[in-house]
Amino acid sequence: AQTVTQSQPEMSVQEAETVTLSCTYDTSESDYYLFWYKQPPSRQMILVIRQEAYKQQNATENRFSVNFQKAAKSFSLKISDSQLGDAAMYFCAYRSAYINNDMRFGAGTRLTVKP
């Protein structure tokens, strides 16, 4: 089964600075989809950004962007101009293109934003 690893249990960033959260995954599949979800203190998971494996161009959503390195099986999330509202748990997730219900989540990274 595919596994998703987030090697940084906690990260902190100064307000207005940039931070990168790491995510690696293990798969033998050639086609798949990757996601970053945010879980604020309210607990409700919110989709931040998503990427198709066969697309070389890195996805971008406003201040959020990814660095997708398919050969390295890496999918890091960059948050630019960090804001206090970015403080949350961030989960990386992998979805197989072959087994639709199979979505695997990493253990999460807790991001603290310092004013």
Residues that bind another protein (CB under 8 A): 1, 4, 6, 33, 42-47, 50, 52, 91, 93, 95, 97, 100-108
Q: ∠ CA 67-1-74 to the nearest 5 degrees?
A: 10
Residue placing its CB nearer to another protein in the complex, 6 or 82: 6
CB of 4 to another protein, least distance (A): 7
CB of 89 to another protein, least distance (A): 9
The pair of structure tokens assigned to 76 is: 């890091």
CB of 64 to another protein, least distance (A): 15
Residue placing its CB nearer to another protein in the complex, 68 or 91: 91
CA distance 31 to 29: 6
Instruction: Residue 66: count other Cβ atoms within 10 Å of its Cβ.
Output: 25
Q: ∠ CA 99-104-108 to the nearest 5 degrees?
A: 165
CB of 69 to another protein, least distance (A): 19
